[in-house]
Amino acid sequence: MTEALDPVGGYRRSWREPGPRRWEHAASRRERRDGGIFRERVESVWRHVDVLLLTSAAAISALGALMILSSTRGTNPEAYDLASLKRQVMFIMLGVVAMVLVAVIDYRRWRDRAWAPYLLLMVMLPLVLTSAGSKHNGTQAWFQIGSGWAFSPNSNGDYGFQLQPAELAKVVVVVVIAAVLCRGEVPLGARWVGAALAALAIPMAFILMQPDLGTAMVFVAIVMGMLLVAGAKLRHIVVLTAVGVIGVIGVLNSDRLEDYQRDRLTTFLEQDTDPQATTYNLNQSKIAIGSGGVTGKGLFEGTQTRLGNVPEQPTDFIFTALGEELGFAGCVTMLALYWLLCWRIWRTAKIARDRFGMLLCVGVLSMMVFQVFQNVGMTMGIMPITGIPLPFMSYGGSATLAAWVAIGIVLNVHMHRFRASSFGS
């Protein structure tokens, strides 16, 4: 007899074709729970990655690395210095890794955990003001990690690293303020506006003590943009604007700034003074950009760039290398890439699943727009000269890392917009 009556269901089943074993069912369940479901979730999230956002950031980074090479390789064709290019490529790679890590974890988990990196920041910012920090151009804002590396990117093979907590603070402050404002109802009451300002005031106070007025200006731009979109009342915005103007005037007239630092911030208002003194940087910058014409002098052919006539060109004044060597066409291309980047951030803010995600994107957008406008404007003489880097373009590890982490935040919001959350809205 080859078939038998099943004692449970009453149907006949061949003994040569037994049903699934219990351990096989259990293994299948474990696989789905521990591996299959996780892989399915990760794959489903990455299907919604914003390719245009990533492409624009990568293109700007590539263009920036090219300009850094042009401004730091030197004039000896037999011994070009590639150390700065190698370092910047390393910074970009670290930034991309950080972006992926930030993008993977659902951003809604951050809302109630935003204070952890904020508290770490509250340790780093005052610590950098002590003997543990390094000073450059009158500003004490860096930690020296590794061997002693000069602030010039021409490191001659020395791969030490300068960590600037203020750059990382921009991203942390965006997350914390978004976590505060997303809890308030529109229009925002004084309670929520005050809580956001309190979260901003402490790190901003330490940054002003460095002193670093440029980074403090970025903080103001971030919080103002987020308050406007979050639904702050008009009278609150007017009062905060007035307080900000008074604060800037107060800092400029305080003893926290050295005379040369104050001159750098006010030079754009007095461009007819001695070109060999306070306006030297600005004049050399304008000469470099103006000499590029429509199509530029050619890659690696800029005289101002090759001879090092523009101070701090790989960092603060990287736009001048682009203007001189690739001309108006190159500048328009770069600004078009920034427009694409900012448009994708704004689009993600509009389609975000919740208020917290929307505010995260608005904070990143405010940071990017202000930094681009301020950096490009100062090279042309329409904005004060500050140490604000051009995102993805300027040489520097901390700024590059912060920019890619900010993109990771926006990608996170974009990729998780279809997923329901168990963490609340």
Reported as a single tens digit per residue, the pLDDT across 270-284 is 666 555 556 778 888
Q: Contact 219/205 with Cβ under 8 angstroms?
A: no
Tell me phi and psi for residue 139, to 5 degrees.
-115, 125
Residue 283 confidence (pLDDT): 84
User: What is the residue-wise DSSP string for 295-338?
Assistant: T-S-TT--HHHHTT-STTTTTTTHHHHHHHHHHHHHHHHHHHHH
Rounded to the nearest angstrom, the gap between the alpha carbon of residue 125 and the centroid of all alpha carbons in its chain is: 18
Of 357, 295, 348, residue with least CA distance to 324: 295
Residue 237, strand partner residues = none
Q: Is 135 helix (H, G, I), strand (E, B) or coil?
A: strand
- SS3 breakdown of the chain: % helix, strand, coil, rounded to 5? 60, 5, 35
Of 340, 349, 345, residue with least CA distance to 417: 349
Residue 416 confidence (pLDDT): 84
Residue 382 confidence (pLDDT): 85
Residue 7 confidence (pLDDT): 42
Residue 410 confidence (pLDDT): 96
- Half-sphere exposure (CA, 13 Å, Cβ side) for 20? 7
Question: For the chain, first and last CA: distance in Å?
Answer: 63
Residue 139, strand partner residues = 136
Question: What region does 182 belong to: left with phi over 0, alpha with psi -120 to 50, or beta?
Answer: alpha
CA angle 415, 416, 417 (to 5 degrees): 100
For the chain (425 residues), the mean pLDDT of every run of 10, in chain order, is: 44 42 46 45 69 96 94 76 89 95 89 88 91 81 67 48 89 94 85 91 90 89 92 87 81 68 68 62 87 89 84 90 93 96 95 92 96 93 86 93 96 82 46
Residue 42, strand partner residues = none
- Going across the sheet that includes 139-145, the strands are 133-136, 139-145, 161-163
Residue 304 confidence (pLDDT): 85
Sign of CA dihedral 197, 202, 206, 207: negative
Residue 135 confidence (pLDDT): 82
Q: Torsion angle, CA of 177/236/369/127, rounded to 10 degrees?
A: -50
Stated as kind and residue range, the H or E segment containing 284 is helix 280-291
Task: Label each residue of 182-227 as H, E or C.
Answer: CCCCCCECHHHHHHHHHHHHHHHHHHHCCCCHHHHHHHHHHHHHHH
Instruction: Indicate the DSSP class of residue 6.
Output: -
Residue 344 confidence (pLDDT): 96
What's the predicted TM-score (pTM) here?
A: 0.83
CB atoms within 10 A of CB 190: 11
Domain borders along the chain are: 49-415
CA angle 202, 160, 62 (to 5 degrees): 85
Tokens of residue 382, six digits:
């329409």
Tokens of residue 284, six digits:
């050399």
Omega prior to 211 cis, within 30 of 0: yes
- Half-sphere exposure (CA, 13 Å, Cβ side) for 280? 8
